[in-house]
Copies of this chain bind each other. A is one copy, B any other.
Amino acid sequence: MKLPQNVSQADFTAALKAFAGIVGDQWVFTTDEDLELYRDSYSLMWGEADERTASAAVAPDNADQVVELVKIANQYRIPIYPISTGKNLGYGGAAPAFAGSVVFDLKRMNRIVEIDERNGYVVVEPGVSYFDLHKYIQEKGLKLWIDCAGPGWGSLLGNALDGGLGYTLATYRSHFDAQCGIEVVLPNGRMMRTGMGALPGAKTWQQFKPGFGPRIDGLFKQSNYGVVTKMGFWLMPAPENHTTGVVTIPRFRDIIPLVDAIGRLEQSKIVQGLWNLSSPTTGTSGDGGPGGGASKQKDSKILAILNDPGGVDMDKLDAAAGAAGIPFWACEFNFYGPKKLIKAQWDCVRDALKEISGAKFKLDEIRALPLSPEELAKMRDAVTLGIPTLKTFDLGPMLSYEGEDVVGHIFFSPIIPRTGEAAIEAMDVFATIARKYKLPYPPVQFPASMFERAFMYVVALPVTRSPTVNAKIREMFRELVLIAAERGWGEYRTAPAFYDLIMGTYSYNDHALLEFLETIKDAVDPNGIMSAGRYAIWPRHLRDAKG
């Protein structure tokens, strides 16, 4: 049996016994076989001494049990690591940030506590997945949509706490922003409710985000200041219709006026659905998927330019695409709602983009919702219709790297300005690294536009089972982070292996932000038991050891 650092065998045994006294023996896991489930199968340290694995796992049934478990952890100074469903693959999975932690697996806490069709909200426990909630809504016939993360097996609550994203209207896409009202067990075992939930018998806990006094919900995002046991979310009324409209733009550098014009439409709240850049010329798309809705090119000259080992010359590519009559950019917009509104919004898009020379417009048929199974089957991914899927795992054909099988991926996810110039710069920078490390990628990658005012790149790096190759990937990741930071681009999210590296780039005024986060950590978690190291926030005793 593994032991957490600095914990005696006697204390650990006593703690596990006390945990079992709360949750029952069958919900305390200590065998290698059971703990295998809490490894991060996409870890870049797989099988190495530095792989961060759990010493045990405990699965409580409810928030009161969490309170008791946290008190026991304090008593014996057991490092704990709560997870919701642990499905944030590519960002760490179920494995703890500090090796030897006891995972608190909250999957049994999977109650849909309250759902309100009229006011459009739901309150869930950590174990509720997008699939669970979608099924529940369908069964009850509620006219509500959820904004799903890519993989539908994820936890609403966990995804929000991790800073995750969805695919419907802008106001619902940033899941932590769509959250309203948190119940949390603090590291000292105190149960707390945020916002209006702090008022006993509150009637607007899920309807009013600011609350009274400081707004502390954000403290529980990407952090280790508490175990969130309930969370409210604002939901979208099921819309009547959906369609997509595609604008094609001939030339590469016309991404600059394109992004500017779309930005004004978004800032004016005229474009509110997700839009996605893809390229018929290069065959790549901005959401990580291959080629988007646009048909891929076949032109041999284009292929030759794309496969130039020295890098893609965009001017040559433009010329070849022009000669072949293939537009460089296709931009697909999603629209929701009454037909007349969709038509007006599409007309506004046309008006705003028509000045870009050669722009062409095509609105798909406006379809009444819900779609029939046949219509759904034709879609690339129903996630834009609020339907959870696992299609994101169809991502792409990265089967091997450096002669090793690729078993998964980790995401390098920088945030860059929402301008065409920045997108061009980022494509160039990241393509250079990809070539240097001989990644089996499309030669250019495009930014994703889920966030409202900034672009995100989601560069999936391969994970293998070879320590040598994985070390090389880690080096590449490190290089990407540092090159991005030099240019003023920071990551929004990462896996435990890179928490410290990336937090290190957020170093303004001698790391004032991290110092502040550590000050709060020491105050609210004096024994440093909770999720040590998560997002680079270490408790004092481990910080000192580290430094």
A residues in contact (CB < 8 Å) with B: 118-121, 163, 169, 171, 174, 176-177, 180, 186, 190-194, 196-204, 207-223, 225, 234-237, 239, 260, 263-264, 267-270, 272, 336-338, 340-341, 343-345, 347-348, 351, 415-419, 422, 451, 453-454, 485-494, 502-503, 505-509, 512-513, 515-517, 519-520, 522-524, 535-537
* B174 and A210 contact, CB distance less than 8 A: yes
New A-B pairs, 16, CB < 8 Å, besides A204-B454, A212-B222, A340-B348: A171-B269, A193-B509, A199-B489, A208-B451, A210-B221, A212-B491, A212-B535, A213-B517, A213-B536, A214-B222, A214-B517, A214-B535, A235-B267, A236-B268, A338-B344, A344-B344
B residues in contact with A485, CB < 8 Å: 199
Closest Cβ of chain B to A232, distance in Å, is 11
Are B215 and A454 touching (Cβ within 8 A)? Answer: no
**B190 and A515 within 8 A (CB):** yes
In the assembled complex, which residues on chain B have CB atoms less than 8 Å from the CB atom of A535?
Answer: 212-214
A223 to chain B, nearest CB (A): 4
Chain B residues near A163: list those with CB within 8 A.
Answer: 210
- Are B517's CB and A267's CB within 8 A? no
User: Is there contact, CB below 8 Å, between A519 and B508?
Assistant: no
B198 close to A492 (CB less than 8 A): no
Q: Are A219 and B214 in contact (CB under 8 A)?
A: yes
Task: Say whether B221 contacts A215, CB under 8 Å.
Answer: yes
Is B348 touching A418 in the complex (CB atoms < 8 A)?
A: no
**Residues on the B chain within 8 Å of A517, using CB:** 213-214, 216
> Which residues does chain B contribute within 8 Å of A121, judged by CB atoms?
453
Chain B residues, Cβ within 8 Å of A519: 523-524
B454 near A207: Cβ-Cβ < 8 Å: yes
Residue of B nearest to A188 (CB): B519
Q: How far is the CB of A136 from chain B (nearest CB, A)?
A: 19
Q: Which residue of B lies closest to A352 (CB)?
A: B338
Q: How far is the CA of A353 from the CA of B69 in the complex (A)?
A: 52
A158 to chain B, nearest CB (A): 16
Whole-angstrom CA separation of A174 from B210 in the bound complex? 9
How many Å lie between the Cα of A149 and that of B485 in the bound state? 37
Cβ–Cβ contact A199 & B451, under 8 A: no
* Nearest B residue (CB) for A121: B453
Tell me the bound Cα distance from A268 to B242 in angstroms.
13
A214 touches B221 (CB 8 A): yes
If A193-B513, A197-B508 touch, whether A260 touches B118 (CB-CB below 8 Å) is yes
Contacts of A451 in B (CB 8 A): 208
Q: Is the CB of B234 within 8 A of A506?
A: no
A237 touches B218 (CB 8 A): no
Query: What's the nearest-Cβ distance from chain B to residue A450, in Å?
Result: 11
Across the interface, which residues of B come within 8 angstroms of A343, CB to CB? Answer: 344
Q: Say whether A509 contacts B190, CB under 8 Å.
A: yes
CA distance A487 to B509 in the complex (A): 47
Task: Provide the bound-state CA to CA distance between A236 and B266, in Å.
Answer: 10
**With contact pairs A171-B269, A223-B214, A269-B171 given, residues A488 and B348 touching in the complex (Cβ less than 8 Å):** no
CB pair A453–B505 under 8 Å, yes or no, is: no
**Nearest chain B CB to A117's CB is how many angstroms away?**
10
Bound-state CA distance A235–B269 (Å) is 12
A488 proximity list for chain B (CB < 8 A): 199, 201-204
CB distance from A127 to the nearest CB of B (A): 23
| List of B residues within 8 angstroms of A186 by Cβ | 512, 516
Residue from B190, B239, B490, B513 within 8 A of A512 (CB atoms): B190
Chain B residues contacting A194 (CB-CB under 8 Å) are 513
- Which of A263, A340, A489, A516 is packed against the most chain B CB atoms within 10 Å? A516
A337 contacts which chain B residues (CB < 8 A)?
Answer: 268, 270, 348
Given B197, B267, B503, B509, which contacts A192 in the complex, CB threshold below 8 Å?
Answer: B509
